[in-house]
Structure 1
């Protein structure tokens, strides 16, 4: 599993806390990194801002329909205002003037009522076709070809409100790949299987064992479970707990 090595390569030097190019390029000796570096050093590698960048999920998930049939899916987001990027010299100028330019652009746009919007699309594959390709569809370093598996629109995502408290509503968020809703499930993607464990483990270390009780992470509806005690447990329970 080379994912931890990739993360370490992109992080600052643990001795000097300086992000060094040689650490990043050293990871490029792994052939699996070609996919990532192709995007990074392409013209799309530096988005103009958050509103003008598209996105796609790393992993392959499984959607289960009403009949119980499973399909592999890849998620994609396309900005309705188009994709815009910066060249290296432009990025140096813009970032040098305001290192938070993308965050400010997003915040100011939402505050002005110019809500950023993305089309949500999926690529769908029948699990029975997994072995028919000349590549492993569950390999995160591979891209599903759109001429064979076209993008299908399923909805849209609109950011219509700025947060009121950055720490409470952003820094305390705990996104975990292991938390899913009915109708969506995992796949045999090896990296996904690893991150299912590692993300929740990291959140417990970062925010505490009861991080799911924080308002930013707790469900909005009434919920009942058998959890009790533990550090930072502020759930009010007046009933018997098995």
Structure 2
């Protein structure tokens, strides 16, 4: 078994709007990206994404200067290269927006055989909370909706309840039963996880919160760095932002990149506390 991080990469590349462009484009059509996607599919110019994975052997988990299971960290591609494994092509527009879009219930707890959950704290909370949220949003039988229902035959003990529309006249809602002699589905192999000692819930020890943000800032060209600085200056210059908060943010960005902290401190007229 290995830790795996999945990445979807668009084959057409990534294009963004500058602030001035966003005002014009968004002002004329606030759904411009949705319209572009719909029109492209309708015209046969199908958007495509490639699926890549990065893989870590659990035995190497402690060899990094950060915690690989910390969702706020990226896995360096020069150490853990992207490996192509598949692609996604959107080749058909939906016919009914409500049935096929609004009622979709994606859930990270539902995985295919061969994929299991890591101890990523955010993932662990999401696999628990998504189903609760979807039952509240769509009703207790949301998995019966065509957009969410399994494509293959299935048999479970989910009977009746609000908004049920499946008629089961020969099945019972308990297992095992002589009246309904079904059997367990064939179990797919799961990887055993040997461990010893106490398993504890605690703070992440190797946070290393500033190295990767600094590296990302330094990877940008001068124009993009300037736009980033200007956006933060505008945000921190708000009258409601206290001097203490400005100083804290400047200290954060200084730890990420000293030149970035100095630029912010100069423009905000705040004495940096390096």
TM normalised by structure 2 equals 0.62
Cα separation, 2, equivalents of 1:170 and 1:236: 25
Unpaired stretches in structure 1, ≥5 consecutive residues? 1-69
Partner residue, 1:176: 107
Unpaired stretches in structure 2, ≥5 consecutive residues? 175-274
Shift of 1:80: 1.2
How is 1:141-180 mapped onto 2 (pairs within 5 angstroms)? 141-180=72-111
Partner residue, 2:50: 119
Post-superposition CA distance 1:177-217 (Å, at most 9, x none)? 11111111100001110111111110000001111001110
Cα separation, 2, equivalents of 1:222 and 1:79: 33
TM normalised by structure 1 equals 0.70
Partner residue, 1:228: 159
My pick for the range that moved more, 217-226 or 203-212, is 217-226
Give the one of 55, 60, 64 matched to 1:133. Answer: 64
Give the one of 3, 11, 14 matched to 1:83. Answer: 14
Partner residue, 2:119: 188
Shift of 1:238: 2.3
Secondary structure of the residue aligned to 2:2 is strand
The reply to whether residue 198 of structure 1 matches residue 126 of structure 2 is: no
- RMSD of the alignment, in Å? 0.8
The one of the two structures with greater contact order (alpha-carbon pairs below 8 A, sep at least 6) is 1
Large movers: runs of 4+ above 6 Å: none
Cα separation, 1, equivalents of 2:8 and 2:111: 19
Secondary structure of the residue aligned to 2:84 is strand
Partner residue, 1:34: none
Cα separation, 2, equivalents of 1:95 and 1:120: 30
